[in-house]
Amino acid sequence: MMDSKLNLDKSKIKKARQLSKEIAGPVNEYISQHTTVAIERATLRLLGADGVSKDEVPVPNMVINSLGDKIQYGAAKYYINALIRKNVSPQELNELIADGLDISSIDFTDQKLIDQKAEELVEGAAKRIKENVAYRSGKIDQYKEKENSPLLYLIVATGNIFEDVKQAQAAAKQGADIIAVIRTTGQSLLDFVPYGATTEGFGGTYATQENFKIMRKALDEVGEETGKYIRLVNYCSGLCMPEIAAMGALERLDMMLNDSMYGVLFRDINMYRTFVDQKFSRMINAFADITINSGEDNYLTTSDAYEKAYTVTASQFINEQFAYDSGLPAKLMGLGHAFEINPQMENGFLYEMAQAQMAREIFPEAPLKYMPPTKYMTGDIFKGFIMNAMFNFIAKSTNQGILLLGMLTEAIHTPFMQDRFLAVENARYILNSTKDFSNDIEFKKDGIMQTRAQDVLDQTIEFLENINQQGLFDSIENKMFAEVSRPKHGGKGFDGVTEKAKDYFNPVYKYLENELGLK
Range of the domain at 98: 34-123
Q: Is residue 415 over pLDDT 80? A: no
Chain centroid to Cα 18, Å, comes to: 24
Residues 471, 485: Cα–Cα separation, whole Å: 14
pLDDT for 2: 63
Lowest mean pLDDT among 46-50, 302-306, 379-383, 413-417: 413-417
Q: Is residue 324 over pLDDT 70? A: yes
pLDDT for 345: 97
The pLDDT tens digits of the residues spanning 253-290 come to 999 999 999 999 999 999 999 999 999 999 999 999 99
The pLDDT tens digits of the residues spanning 339-364 come to 999 999 999 999 999 999 999 999 99
Residues 94, 320: Cα–Cα separation, whole Å: 38
In a domain, 399, yes or no: no
pLDDT for 507: 98
Residues 17, 317: Cα–Cα separation, whole Å: 6
The pLDDT tens digits of the residues spanning 299-309 come to 888 899 999 99
Q: Is residue 379 over pLDDT 90? A: no
DSSP code string of 93-121: HHHHHHTT--GGGSPP--HHHHHHHHHHH
For the chain, the domain total comes to 1
pTM, full prediction = 0.96
pLDDT for 358: 98
In a domain, 100, yes or no: yes
Tell me the percentage of the chain whose pLDDT exceeds 70: 99
pLDDT interval class at 147 (50, 70, 90): low
Q: Is residue 61 over pLDDT 60? A: yes
Burial 66-83 (b: 16+ CB within 10 A, else e): bbeeebbbbbbbbbbbbb
Q: Is residue 148 over pLDDT 70? A: no
In a domain, 72, yes or no: yes
End-to-end, the C-alpha distance of the chain in Å comes to 28
pLDDT interval class at 146 (50, 70, 90): low
pLDDT for 411: 67
Catalytic residues: 262, 297, 369
Average pLDDT for 480-489: 92
Regarding predicted confidence, which is higher, 74 or 149?
74
Q: DSSP secondary-structure letter at 447? A: S
In a domain, 512, yes or no: no
In a domain, 101, yes or no: yes
DSSP code string of 289-346: TPEEE--GGGHHHHS-TTTTHHHHHHHHHHHHHHHHHTT--GGGEE-EEE--S-TTST
In a domain, 24, yes or no: no
Residues 306, 299: Cα–Cα separation, whole Å: 12
Q: Return mean pLDDT, the chain.
A: 95
In a domain, 28, yes or no: no
pLDDT for 3: 81
In a domain, 114, yes or no: yes
CA distances from 181 to 203, 412, 421, 427 (A): 11, 19, 17, 21
pLDDT interval class at 417 (50, 70, 90): confident
pLDDT interval class at 410 (50, 70, 90): confident
Q: Is residue 125 over pLDDT 70? A: yes
Q: Which residues pair with 181 in a beta bridge?
A: 156
Q: Is residue 418 over pLDDT 60? A: yes
pLDDT for 433: 96
pLDDT interval class at 166 (50, 70, 90): very high
